[in-house]
Amino acid sequence: MVDRLTPEARSRLMAAVKGKNTTPELKVRKLAHSLGFRFRLHRRDLPGMPDLVFPTRRKVVFVHGCFWHRHPGCRKASTPGTHSDFWEAKFSRNVERDARNERLLRDAGWDVLVIWECETRDGAAVAERLTAFLGPPGGAKPAAPN
């Protein structure tokens, strides 16, 4: 497949891609807040600078773009046809970095949830996953087992 953009136009387009406050991330943040969950954003002192951090629960949520983080089986995780060696190396580094950050967080006692960009289209499903992952909203603690 031939790129429809000039190399300069492609470079400008890729340089404009945001790393924080993306549309999928904003959707998840709005949903989490509407469910009653309170969180911190992009804590730099945690590996990978998670998108949403729930400090009292020791839980973090990453909202990953399917293209950049290589969502397995997703049509959005396509590889550009030009400079494929560059892209494959870049994507491989991204996946390795994500796995390393997730491992470091788990080793430090944090639970990790990844929500993929394509999953944010179904708000009800994301709400279910967030609630299952985080437990009851607000300051409530989960009930102790009998």
Residue 140 lies in a domain: no
pLDDT at 139: 60
Two tokens, residue 59: 């839980």
pLDDT at 21: 83
pLDDT at 145: 54
Cβ pair 100, 31 in contact under 8 A: no
Residue 47 lies in a domain: yes
Nearest Cα residue to 115 out of 104, 107, 123 = 123
Range of the domain at 105: 35-134
CB proximity list for 114: less than 8 A, separation 6 or greater:
61, 62, 64, 102
- Tell me the CATH number at 74: 3.40.960.10
Report whether pLDDT(144) > 60.
no
Residue 102 lies in a domain: yes
Q: CA-CA distance, 4 to 113, in Å (whole number)?
A: 36
* pLDDT per residue as tens digits for the range 12-34: 776 766 677 899 999 999 999 99
* pLDDT per residue as tens digits for the range 71-98: 999 999 888 888 889 989 999 999 999 9
Residue 9 lies in a domain: no
